[in-house]
Structure 1
Amino acid sequence: MASSVSGRGSSSGVRSRVRYPIGLKLILIISCVLSAALSGMIFLASFFFRQDARVRIEENNHQTAQVLGLKVGDDFRGLVSRMQFLLSLRDASYTENFFASAPEILFAVVPGKTEYLNAAKAGEWAFDRYSLERILALEAPALEKGKTIPAVINLSPHLGKPAVAVVAPYREGDFEGTLVVAIDAASAIAALQARGIGWSFVVNESGELILHPDARELSSRQDLSALPIVDRFLRSATDNGQTLYRDASGAEYLGAFRKTGFAGLGVVSVVPAALAFEAVDAIQRRNLYLMGAVLSLAMIVVWFYSRSITRPVGVLMDAAHRVEAGDFQLDIKPKTRDELGALTASFVEMGRGLGEREKIKEAFGKFVNKDIAERAMRNELSLGGERRIAAVFFSDIRGFTSISESLEPEEVVEFLNQYFTIMVSCVEKTGGVVDKFIGDAVMAVWGVPVSSGRDVAAAVDAALLMRASLADFNSRRGGPRKPVIRIGCAINAGPVLAGQIGSSKRMEYTVIGDTVNLSSRIESLTKPFGVDILVSDAVRLELAGAYVLETMPLVTVKGKSEPQHVYAVLGKAGDRAAPLSLAELRGRLGLKDFALDADSFADEEEKKYKIEGRA
């Protein structure tokens, strides 16, 4: 069985089929390992550097918010105290000196009682009494609220300049009102200016922006409550906190807040994460460049090493091609004493073994059934015949001749393939073996070559499963090109002779005997009896009442001198979906009622059976 294809003449063809050479795989594997190790080290180091940087920035943020929170709270509380003291004096000369020492104050007003206007600041800002009345009118709700609790208002949208107003309860004797003090916010904004890479801002208890280092941000009332750090400030039960968050644009920030303890104000300090971790990212990039250089050097070393492996493997590839072509006599010899040398020696032995197995393989080609062939390969079948007890099943399609005459040959083949696929599936699901196909007929056995212990019941289960599967199959059929299919099935049980039968050139594993013949004869009775499943008396005895059977008339079949009892299968005992009578069964399957005379015969040319009576 040697082939003329061998050696160098075929090596180029064999190696052209190699898509991923070993050298390439070695480079990829080692590169992946090195990449994983180095990148793991780099990213772990970057992670810890980043964590350390984050801790330091969070501490700095926390301290900044702490200091500014205390300062803002103290400044506003001090301003309210000074103004309340000023109002209690009612001394015009002191008032002038007070405004001279506090030029940032624009006005101090107790609506309905007292008004003080800093003339210098009012002149600088072109602020007059009309402007004051307009502001008081616009902020009336806040002033009313200020009678009970302090508040801070952003006046920048009204004045066009950075300014805030402090609103606090004012009481003098029986009078209860609101103290409103407006100041230039420039000095407060200066305190919030960026510190290195971060900045701070002030919000009130509603999340509204009050002070910001960029005065342009104060030109309109901004609600920052949706900002995660502000939201956390609003919901926090503690005086301070910090978090890493993203804003609406996706930019990441490290933020901290501190409650001032005055008017519900809070100071928020933030640092952009991109700037905070810029040094860490730069170190990470340098390490990645170094990793690339190491990988490049490793690839060069591995490439040269891989050639010491790929050459012997190439020889084995050529030998494998010779085996593929049928030449099992290999003349290659090991050239090394390592694993590749041992593999070469084993490969030569494998070639000899394959030569022997090729002979056995020819015998397996004679088996039609896959399960039988596999059992034979595992030495689970004895050569020759053996007596076994089995359940034998036959089925065929009613009116197959007329169906095939109405269809094209290709349609017949397609239709049979679909039908046989369903039938074979039912047999295999119940542990049976398809023995053969005889035209449109199916022969199957249970208990050969191995018995399950319930072979007869399994055969009946298969027939019932075929009934249900065929009903589903027929639900998608109808019309001249896809006719509805009706079948007849028969099951008999008893002794059979099982073995390899055939000629010296072609054999098949099958069963023969009187049990097989009677099963075939019973199957031909399904049409005149108007049923789809018939079983013999031997099957009835094995079922022991587990199935609902309907007794049919006695029949005399060819090859049997005594009349035979046969039974129609309605279904499993206790199955509510099973038909209750033959009439119901025939109605479901569209079968004709039993209507033959007692002397009728199935076939005038070959009398296979005779019906002795009626059901």
Structure 2
Amino acid sequence: MTRLRFPLRAKFFLFAVLLAVGPLILVAQNISRLTRDELKSAANEDLTSVAAELRTSFDNTFQGRWLTPLMVIRNGVDSPDLDIAQKVSLLTLGLQELPQVAALQLSVAGSDLPILVTNSKYSGRVIAAGLDPVEVLSTPADLITSISGTGQFGRPVISYMPEIDTWMATLVLPLNTYIAGREVTMAAKIDLDLLAQMVASHPFAQRGVIAIVDHAGRLVLTDQPRVIADRQIVASAMPLIVAGARADALQPYVRPDGEAVLGAYAFPSHFPWAVITELSEDNAYAVVNALTWQIAKVGLVGLVLAAMGAFFMSQGLTGPILKIGAVAQKVGQGDFAVRVRGVRSRDEIGQLAREVDQMIAHLAERLELMKFVSHSTMSAIRKAEDSGMRRGGERRRVSVIFTDIRGYTSFSESVPPETVVEVLNRYFDVQAGLVNKYGGDVDKFIGDALVAVFEGERMEERAVAASVEIIADLQKLLSVYPEYNLHVGIGVASGEVVMGATGARDRMDFTVLGSTVNLSARLCSKAASDQVLVDEASQNAASISGRFRFEPLPAVSLKGYAEPVPVFAANLRVPVRA
């Protein structure tokens, strides 16, 4: 026996739990929800303020510590009162006052030899790495040309320099001074380690995550630059960085590893970055989780008491219901002889047991009756359950096949009746199986004849397919029982019929009537043994598939038809798709 999905014992258990701990759960939910809302509001405010604070710190540091002093140096170098040597000295002095500036250079348009002054601390690190400081710390001419062409003067270009394991910002400023009639620009390499220290030393980093990402979703200001665009908040911020938007936002989401987090982002004005702050919901809601755990412990005590009461209450009620369930399961498996035993209570459960027994008896009767009627009859009965079956019918377009066993009369006279019934059933099993295979419905058996109806799409093709396969399968049956020496002739016709109930008021038959049925019967009578004769309408429709070979035969005169009727012998050309 399969396990019940929701047994009665579980229902009593649930009912007792609701009575015992339901009010407690409702109160706990309200407290938790209110507390969670307050904590979420506080966490969101914290996330937003931290992101905005770092954004402001980045902008102030860039503007106050680097851009403004470099503008002063640029203006001094731009003075027409200074010669080249004095300009270089000004660069050197300026470099001494700006410890985060790794190099300053003057570049003349069209020249590959810039005037470069480097910070000894950084040049020493480059030399220690076995590289040329001039090559590493100088600003390439093509980068200066690109910045000049886009007008992005004063906007830092960020890059990671693995040679000295640091992030650098390249800043290019134009000069009004011309040397030999050529434009001059000043470029600076700025170490961004100060910004990285701001992020690492921020108090929020002890309980949350601060990430600085660029337009490609890559972590910056870290010694392990990697792409984290799979985080939902990073993916949301990336297009805003590209578009130059500066709209701060909050966003709860789930990380790819399944951790639920709260996040916020802000955008520095001077860097193509987003400052992202994240806090896991576990940390944000730690107080709520502790409160919930305390309430859960109290509720557990009530749950145990409720479970004990539910167990004893359910023992006296579930037994009869389980017996009824076991009987229902056996009925589902096809056993209609089973009955509910041992349930004698005079309550609703006892009444249910008696009604189940009556239902099983009625089902058994109905199942046996279904074997004697067609599918279309059963469908009509179901549709007419409310009003009852009424005599009459409706026009439908169908394909009808009529089969008849040749030599059946002489065979039935030469063998015992039991053998006749056995052989007839065997032949009908083959024919009915193929009718069902191709979506047809056996309308009736008339002695040794079978009438089947096909409706719907490709009905002509399916009717012809079933007919030719009946001939083939019965020939196989004859190879096993050659002593039968029984063959079948089949007629197929398509057209309009009247389908409905006919007969007396208290004894009706649901069947098909009309000239199409008569035509299929007439064609069957003209068919030779192992031959399928098809009318013109069926031949025209079934020919479209190209699966059959139709041999036109001389038109035949049929009873009830004034003119000879065109007929075709159908044979299978290729395997037929059911």
2:113 counterpart of 1:109: no
Partner residue in 2 for 1:470: 467
Q: Residue in 2 aligned with 1:187?
A: 194
Residue 261 of structure 1 deviates from its aligned partner by 2.0
For 2:488, the aligned partner's letter is R
Query: Aligned partners of 1:394, 1:130: CA distance in 2, in Å?
Result: 97
Structure 1 residue 85 corresponds to structure 2 residue 72 = yes
In 2, Cα distance between equivalents of 1:41 and 1:482:
81
- Residue in structure 1 matched with residue 309 of structure 2 by the alignment: 301
User: In 1, Cα distance between the equivalents of 2:524 and 2:450?
Assistant: 23
Per-residue displacement from partner, 1:398-419 (whole Å, max 9, x unpaired)?
14588999xx999958843523
1:152 maps to which of 149, 153, 157: 157
CA 1:178–1:249 in 2, change beyond 3 Å: closer, same or farther?
Answer: farther
Shift of 1:431: 9.4
**In structure 1, what residue type is equivalent to 2:146?**
K
Q: Alignment RMSD, CA only?
A: 6.4
Q: TM-score, normalised by structure 2?
A: 0.56
In the TM superposition, residue 235 of structure 1 has moved relative to its aligned partner by 1.0
Q: Is the 1:61–1:256 Cα contact (8 Å) retained in structure 2? A: yes
User: SS state of the match for residue 173, structure 1?
Assistant: strand
The residue matched to 1:418 in structure 2 has which SS?
Answer: helix
Matched residue SS, 2:163: helix
Distance in 1 (alpha carbons) for counterparts of 2:12 and 2:117: 84
| CA-CA distance at 1:133 after TM superposition | 0.8
Task: Give the whole-Å Cα distance in 2 for the aligned partners of 1:430 and 1:325.
Answer: 32
Correspondence for 2:545 = none
Mapped to 2, the partners of 1:124 and 1:588 lie a distance apart of 94
Question: 1:517: which partner in 2?
Answer: none
1:174 corresponds to 2:178: yes
Looking at structure 2, the residues matched to 71 and 180 of structure 1 have their Cα atoms a distance apart, in angstroms, of 23
Residue 397 (structure 1) shift: 1.2
Q: Which amino acid aligns with 1:486?
A: V
Partner amino acid, structure 2, of 1:73: D
Residue 9 of structure 2 contacts residue 318 of structure 2 at CA under 8 Å; is this kept in 1? no
Question: In 2, Cα distance between the equivalents of 1:254 and 1:131?
Answer: 46
Q: Secondary structure at the match of 1:153?
A: strand
Q: Alpha-carbon deviation of 1:103?
A: 3.2
Preserved contact between residue 107 and residue 183 of structure 1 (Cα < 8 Å): yes
User: Which has the larger displacement, 173-182 or 255-264?
Assistant: 173-182
Distance 1:370 1:418 in 2: 15
- What SS does structure 1 have at the residue aligned with 2:263? strand
Question: Structure 2: which amino acid aligns with 1:134?
Answer: E
Change in 2 beyond 3 A, CA 1:402/1:48: farther
Partner residue in 1 for 2:210: 200
**Alignment check: 8 A CA contact 2:210 2:278 kept:** yes
2:524, 2:533 within 8 Å by CA — same for their partners in 1? no
Residue pairs, 1:182-581, within 5 angstroms? 182-193=189-200, 194=202, 195=204, 196-205=206-215, 207-212=217-222, 216-217=223-224, 222=226, 228-236=232-240, 237=243, 238-239=245-246, 240-245=248-253, 249=257, 251-284=259-292, 287=295, 290-309=298-317, 334=346, 340=347, 369=372, 396-399=404-407, 415-419=426-430, 421=432, 434=445, 441-442=448-449, 469-475=466-472, 478-479=475-476, 480-481=479-480, 485-487=487-489, 543=515, 571=535, 576-577=540-541
Alpha-carbon distance between aligned partners in 1 of 2:343 and 2:171, rounded to the nearest angstrom: 104
How far the C-alpha of 1:421 sits from its partner, in A, is 3.0
Distance in 2 of aligned mates of 1:280 and 1:71:
33
Which ranges in structure 1 are unaligned for 5 or more consecutive residues? 1-16, 335-339, 382-392, 447-454, 491-495, 501-508, 512-538, 554-567, 591-615
Partner secondary structure for residue 50 of structure 2:
helix
SS of alignment partner, residue 480 of structure 2: coil
Per the alignment, residue 67 of structure 1 pairs with 53
- Offset at residue 65 of structure 1 (A): 1.9
1:141-172 per-residue CA deviation (whole Å, 9 max, x = no partner) reads: 44443433122333541323x35233122213
8 Å contact from structure 1 (residues 163, 184) kept in 2: yes
**Residue 58 (structure 1) aligns with:** 44
1:45 is displaced (CA, Å) by 7.1
Equivalent residues of 1:155, 1:163 under 8 A apart? yes
Give the drift of 1:82. Answer: 0.5
Q: Structure 2 unaligned segments of length 5 or more: list them.
A: 78-85, 109-113, 329-336, 390-400, 493-501, 526-531, 543-551, 557-565, 573-578
Q: Identify if the C-alpha distance between structure 1 residues 414 and 61 changes in structure 2 by more than 3 Å, giving closer, same or farther.
A: farther
Superposed CA deviations along residues 378-427 of structure 1, whole A, max 9, x for unmatched, are 9x99xxxxxxxxxxx9964114588999xx9999588435236359979x
Matched residue SS, 1:103: coil
Q: Distance in 1 between matches of 2:57 and 2:175?
A: 26
How many residue pairs are counted as aligned between the two chains?
460
C-alpha displacement of 1:100: 5.8
Aligned-residue sequence identity (percent) comes to 15
Q: CA offsets, 1:346-370, max 9 Å, x none? A: 989999x99xx99xx99x9999946
Alignment CA distance shift 1:180-1:443 (3 Å): closer
Deviation at 1:485, TM superposition (A): 4.6
Deviation at 1:70, TM superposition (A): 2.3
Code of the aligned partner of 1:105: V
Per mean C-alpha deviation after superposition, the further-off stretch among 222-231 and 75-84 is: 222-231
The structural deviation recorded for 1:22 is 7.0
Does the CA-based 8 Å contact 1:396-1:442 persist in structure 2?
A: yes
CA shift digits 1:273-303 (9 cap, x unpaired): 5544455455555555555444332221122
Moved more, 175-184 or 235-244: 175-184
Change in 2 beyond 3 A, CA 1:396/1:205: closer
Deviation at residue 183 of structure 1 after TM alignment: 4.0
One-letter amino acid of the counterpart of residue 241, structure 1: A
Q: For residue 523 of structure 1, what is the aligned residue in structure 2?
A: none
Return the alpha-carbon distance in structure 2 between the equivalents of residues 297 and 136 of structure 1: 76
Give the structure with higher Rg (CA).
Answer: 1
Match of 1:164 among 162, 168, 179: 168
